[in-house]
Amino acid sequence: MSMHHLAGVLVLAGGTAARMGGVSKPDVMVAGKRLLDHALAEISRTAPRARIVVVAPPDVSVPPSVIRILEDPPLGGPLAGYAAGFHALTIDEGALVAFMTCDAPLSARLFPALLEAFEAESCDGAVPVQHTPEGDILQLTQGIYRSEFLQDVMRDHVRNKSLRRAFSDAHLVGVPDQSQCGFDVDTWEEVATLEEYLLSDDGREARSDL
């Protein structure tokens, strides 16, 4: 078990959801709960001490214990959203902060493995690696990062700047997502796939094991 813990988790819950007809993606119901609620429940199980910030429009409801904020002006891209969320946190230098998106609600299950990476070596962050036929992909929106690294990256212009460009000089440790917990939901077909998993014996067992 890692000696590190998360001080904060930033959850993106905005965007346009163009491939789903422009719906409010955090409010999409899956297996009886909103996508956002699934994400928050996973965080509470794997990082109960973390302060949670949801980056979302004002009409997306969040629990009282969760901070909601939105970049100004809206739709500035993931980096701008994470920057708004990061600046809403009050944390110490050297703290660890996780990124999430509401449409990958199970990615919090990767937190323990990512935290272990900080035990092995000094790095700016630990990021899940998704294996695809086209090659390995670093899932930057599901990583854990040191607060001083984020402070430095988010000091400059962030609007419409890609995460890949902003993090191009970072020392990141890749952690294979062997369980595919980073599966994200961008279409209604993928909503159905996630719901089928959550209602399956495997899905229920995974939740009870956390």
106/39 Cα distance (integer angstroms): 6
Structural domains of the chain, count: 1
**Residue 81, in any domain of the structure:** yes
pLDDT value at position 209? 46
Residue 32: band (very low, low, confident or very high) from pLDDT cuts 50, 70, 90: very high
* pLDDT of amino acid 94: 85
User: Is residue 24 in some structural domain?
Assistant: yes
Distance CA 34, CA 190 (A): 14
State the pTM of this model: 0.92
Domain region containing 38: 6-209
Alpha carbon distances (Å) from 96 to 7, 65, 75, 131, 203:
6, 19, 26, 25, 28
* Residue 196 within any structural domain of the chain: yes
Our measurement of the distance from residue 43's CA atom to the centroid of its chain's CA atoms, rounded to an integer in Å, reads 10
Residue 183 lies in a domain: yes
| Tens of pLDDT, residues 66-115 | 999 999 999 999 999 999 999 999 888 889 999 999 999 999 999 999 99
The predicted-structure confidence for 51-65, as pLDDT tens digits, reads as follows 999 999 999 999 999
* Contacts with 172 (C-beta within 8 Å, 6 or more apart), sequence order: 123, 124, 125, 126, 127, 138, 143
Q: What are phi and psi of 52, to 5 degrees?
A: -105, 135
Q: Identify the CATH number of the domain in which residue 36 sits.
A: 3.90.550.10
Residues 6+ apart with CB under 8 A from 48: none
Q: Examine residue 1 and state whether it is found in any structural domain, yes or no.
A: no
Do the Cβ atoms of 143 and 126 come closer than 8 Å? yes
Q: In the prediction, which pLDDT does 98 show?
A: 98
Scanning the structure block, which residue is given the tokens 């001083």? 148
DSSP per residue, the chain:
--S--EEEEEEE--S--GGGTT--GGG-EETTEEHHHHHHHHHHHH-TT-EEEEE--TTS---TTSEEE--SSS---HHHHHHHHHHT----TT-EEEEEETTSTTGGGGHHHHHHHHHHS--SEEEEEEEETTEEEE-GGG-EEEHHHHHHHTTS--TT--HHHHTTT--EEEEE-TT-TT----SHHHHHHHHHHHHSHHHHHHHHH-
